[in-house]
């Protein structure tokens, strides 16, 4: 059985993953509306991954004899101030999620819930991958500077980390 404290943070994490899914969907829609097909595909894929993350938390809680709460999710921003800004916002968001996952790791140890501690390690690895994937994109954007984004938009899907579908 999950402790009340873990139940609370895991439910909160469902909401955070759900918000990430909505945020990436908004970013995909914005990019598509701007004519960046590659970038929008990249964000649509991110959206799908975040939905998967949310489901993993729901299923894990239920598997542990709890009952996950399906949350109300805030509306993400509609507009972004440019391609670089959209990826900066994405990195900031992932850094926040990493802090949140680390907090769950800490609480699972405090509560001596080694099953959760073991299970959450997948997310620890995933966060490392997600942050580095967005950081790589930002590095490329910094190299391009104010240059033409056409090639970047064409090539971005090949920048997805190995194993990401």
Q: 3 exposed, middle or buried (CB, 10 Å; 0-12, 13-18, 19+)?
A: middle
Looking up tokens 């993953």 gives 17
Q: Which is nearer to ligand FEO, 23 or 149 (CB)?
A: 23
**Sequence-separated (6 or more) residues with CB below 8 Å from residue 161:** 129, 132, 133
Query: What's the min distance (Å) between Cβ of 147 and ligand FEO?
Result: 28
Instruction: Give the tokens for residue 48.
Output: 């799908």
Q: Which is nearer to ligand FEO, 20 or 27 (CB)?
A: 20
Instruction: Give the tokens for residue 52.
Output: 């998967």
Query: What's the min distance (Å) between Cβ of 100 and ligand FEO?
Result: 9
Applying the rule CB under 6 A, the residues between 76 and 95 that interact with ligand FEO are 94
* Site for ligand FEO contains 153 (CB under 6 A): no
Query: What's the min distance (Å) between Cβ of 150 and ligand FEO?
Result: 27
**Sequence-separated (6 or more) residues with CB below 8 Å from residue 21:** 47, 50, 51, 53, 54
* Site for ligand FEO contains 47 (CB under 6 A): no
* Site for ligand FEO contains 156 (CB under 6 A): no
The binding site for ligand FEO (CB under 6 A) comprises 17, 20, 50, 53, 94, 97, 130
């Amino acid at each position: 059985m999950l402790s009340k404290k873990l139940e609370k943070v895991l439910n909160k994490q469902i909401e955070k993953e759900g918000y990430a899914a909505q945020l990436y969907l908004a970013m995909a829609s914005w990019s598509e509306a701007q004519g960046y097909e590659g970038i929008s595909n990249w964000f649509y894929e991110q959206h799908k991954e975040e939905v998967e993350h949310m489901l993993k938390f729901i299923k894990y809680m239920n598997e542990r004899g709890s009952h996950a709460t399906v949350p109300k999710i805030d509306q993400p921003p509609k507009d972004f101030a440019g391609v670089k800004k959209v990826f900066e916002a994405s990195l900031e968001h992932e850094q926040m999620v990493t802090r949140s996952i680390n907090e769950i790791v800490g609480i699972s140890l405090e509560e001596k819930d080694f099953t959760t501690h073991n299970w959450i390690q997948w997310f620890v690895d995933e966060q490392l991958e997600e942050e580095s994937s967005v950081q790589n994109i930002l590095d490329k954007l910094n190299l391009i500077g104010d240059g033409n984004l056409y090639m970047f938009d064409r090539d971005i899907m090949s920048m997805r980390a190995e194993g990401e579908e």
